[in-house]
Structure 1
Amino acid sequence: MTFDMNRAWRGAMDMFSANREVLLIVAGIFFFLPQLLASIVLPDMSGAMANPEDSQAMIAMLTQIYTNYWWLFLIVVLAQGIGFLGMIALLRDSSKPTVGEALMAGLKALLPYILASIIMSVIFMMVFVLIVGVLSITGIPALAALGMAIALAAFFYLGVRFSLLTAVMAIENILNPVGALRRSWTLTKGHSVRLLLFYALILVAYLVISLVIGLVMGGLVLALGGSTIGLFLNAVVSGLIGAAATSLFATLLASIHHQLSGPSTQAIGSTFD
């Protein structure tokens, strides 16, 4: 089987259309509201960002923000993790869980997902150390630069091979971190290039849309003189875009998973009931 980008996109659109209301509700609760809360609670960083040359001041402000508001970042990350896993669980083809059941599945998969993410981070770090570290020992700048390029390519490759981790956990209910990573690796075997191209196209489209809307909202904020209302509207629009994009990405991962794994045994059996 060859990964079909058009089929994946059509499948995602069908899933999104069929589950639009519940997906957007979950995205609104677990993505939009936490991001809006963070934008309201976190201090304004425009002063530091306006002078990027002063890196020390920027680092000091970021350090202070993370130190003072670590609890807020933790809440946002955990909420988004549960919400994202829950949204994908809603798209199972073997069963149609309720929103509550899907969110419970997301909650159960959260800790295994965090452990799997830690394992992935270790793998990425080992790859970086082995490639860049070895070539940097030579002391030749060209080889060190080559090592960085190879490491970057390896990161993209590993990212693609592990990209179905959330789908495997939420849809197949594989909660063993190593088993879930291994399953994602198996599903994406032979499809790395096409998947990377597909993800790149989606990312470029998202960045273009975000850039256009960001320019419009930035102009609106300037027109309002940087007032609180303007900043709040900008935060609301940014949060809505993020929630909608997250819902769409969840359907894309589910669609890719369905295509590469094939219909489940339960789904095949249900067609003959």
Structure 2
Amino acid sequence: MQFDSNLAWNEAVARVRANRDVLMALAGVFFLLPALLSSVFLADIQQQMMELAQDSEGLEALISANLGTILAFGIGGMLVQFVGYLAATVILGVGGRPSVGEAISVALRAVPTLIGATLLYIVGITLVSFVLGLLVALGSLVAGTAGASLGGVVMLIGLFGVSIWSAVRLSLLVPVIVREGLANPVAAMRRSWELTGGHTPRLLGFYALLMLGYLAISFMVSLLLITPLSLVFGAGAVTNFLAGVVAGLIGAVSNVLLVAVLVRVHAQLSHATPDGQASLFD
């Protein structure tokens, strides 16, 4: 079947509205809270990184000194969001009216699969980067400095293209894990790859429009809210916290909508029943 982006969007919005009370609780814990914690505890580090943007040695020293904190919040926040994505998919993509507790329970069981698939994706991109870098190195031996410069540009463009293309092909990973119950990371990645085959250009255009909409809304909110707050309160903890609240709210809503969209895209491309695995909670 031909992918219908309008249908996917309309169904996603309808699903979010129908489950907004439960989704608000999930979004607050798994999307908003991590953003707020990061904005509070990493505000000073982020400020120092901005000030040292032109000082590579100072920036490197700052990152080295705070590497543990940065990794803790980065990896911890990612894992918390993984649970949020999976739990929201349970709410939006299966039947039986699961509770928040049931959704989180299913999500926790599925987290290892999502982690495994993510690590495999990172390894794959790293290998592609290594191969492209090797080709550039070989080209520089043949064509000299000019060839190396041109090869470096080609490498960056190629790596960017491969990353975007593969991300689109694997975009249905979370719905596949939850709605189809695939616990094997390789099988889940293969299934997403299979479902998105033949629809990549349309999906890429759809996702790009969603990203542009998110960026436009973020820019307008920042212009209308965060900038006036910084003028009123000045640069400091209060402004950083309020900016974190605003950014966290935008991110929480966007993540919930993204999950809903991916659930409906999966339903279309897999010809699934409207409620997916209706037997999970019946």
Cα distance 1:164–1:267, how it changes in 2: closer, same or farther (>3 A)? closer
Amino acid at match of 1:175: A
Amino acid at match of 2:42: L
> Which range is displaced more, 17-26 or 73-82?
73-82
**Correspondence for 2:194:** 186
**Offset of 1:58 from its aligned partner?**
2.4
**Structure 1 CA distance, aligned partners of 2:76 and 2:129?**
30
Q: How does 1:97-246 map to 2 (within 5 A)?
A: 97-139=98-140, 140=147, 141-216=149-224, 217-246=226-255
Instruction: Report the 3-state secondary structure (helix = DSSP H, G, I; strand = E; otherwise coil) of the residue aligned with 1:49.
Output: helix
**Correspondence for 1:42:** 42
Contact 2:132–2:155 at 8 Å: present in 1 too? Answer: yes
Instruction: Report the 3-state secondary structure (helix = DSSP H, G, I; strand = E; otherwise coil) of the residue aligned with 2:93.
Output: coil
**Gapped regions of structure 2 (runs ≥ 5):** 141-146
Cα distance 1:175–1:149, how it changes in 2: closer, same or farther (>3 A)? same
Q: How does 1:70-85 map to 2 (within 5 A)?
A: 70-85=71-86
**Correspondence for 2:273:** 264
Amino acid at match of 1:4: D
**Correspondence for 1:249:** 258
**Structure 1 CA distance, aligned partners of 2:157 and 2:237?**
43
Instruction: Report the 3-state secondary structure (helix = DSSP H, G, I; strand = E; otherwise coil) of the residue aligned with 1:91.
Output: helix
**Offset of 1:223 from its aligned partner?**
2.3
Cα distance 1:227–1:187, how it changes in 2: closer, same or farther (>3 A)? same
Contact 1:86–1:102 at 8 Å: present in 2 too? Answer: yes
Amino acid at match of 1:105: V
> Which range is displaced more, 141-150 or 82-91?
141-150
Q: Which structure ranks higher in relative contact order (CA pairs < 8 Å, sequence separation ≥ 6)?
A: 2
Amino acid at match of 1:153: G
Contact 1:132–1:148 at 8 Å: present in 2 too? Answer: no
Amino acid at match of 1:41: F
Q: How does 1:58-69 map to 2 (within 5 A)?
A: 58-69=59-70
**Offset of 1:154 from its aligned partner?**
1.6
**Offset of 1:132 from its aligned partner?**
3.8
**Correspondence for 1:5:** 5
Contact 1:88–1:170 at 8 Å: present in 2 too? Answer: yes
**Offset of 1:151 from its aligned partner?**
2.5
Aligned residues: 270
> Which range is displaced more, 245-254 or 137-146?
137-146
**Gapped regions of structure 1 (runs ≥ 5):** none
TM-score, normalised to structure 2's length? 0.88
**Offset of 1:8 from its aligned partner?**
1.1
TM-score, normalised to structure 1's length? 0.91
Amino acid at match of 1:79: V
**Correspondence for 2:31:** 31
Amino acid at match of 1:124: I
**Structure 2 CA distance, aligned partners of 1:156 and 1:258?**
22
Cα distance 1:150–1:268, how it changes in 2: closer, same or farther (>3 A)? closer
**Correspondence for 1:55:** 56
Cα distance 1:159–1:219, how it changes in 2: closer, same or farther (>3 A)? same
Kindly provide the CA deviation profile for residues 63-87 of structure 1, in whole angstroms up to 9, marking residues without a partner as x: 3233245434343222111111110
Kindly provide the CA deviation profile for residues 141-190 of structure 1, in whole angstroms up to 9, marking residues without a partner as x: 32342233222212211111111111111221111100000100011010
**Structure 2 CA distance, aligned partners of 1:137 and 1:196?**
33
**Structure 1 CA distance, aligned partners of 2:156 and 2:72?**
34
1:14 is aligned to 2:14: yes
**Structure 2 CA distance, aligned partners of 1:269 and 1:247?**
21
Kindly provide the CA deviation profile for residues 26-81 of structure 1, in whole angstroms up to 9, marking residues without a partner as x: 01011111221222222413243135212222232233233245434343222111
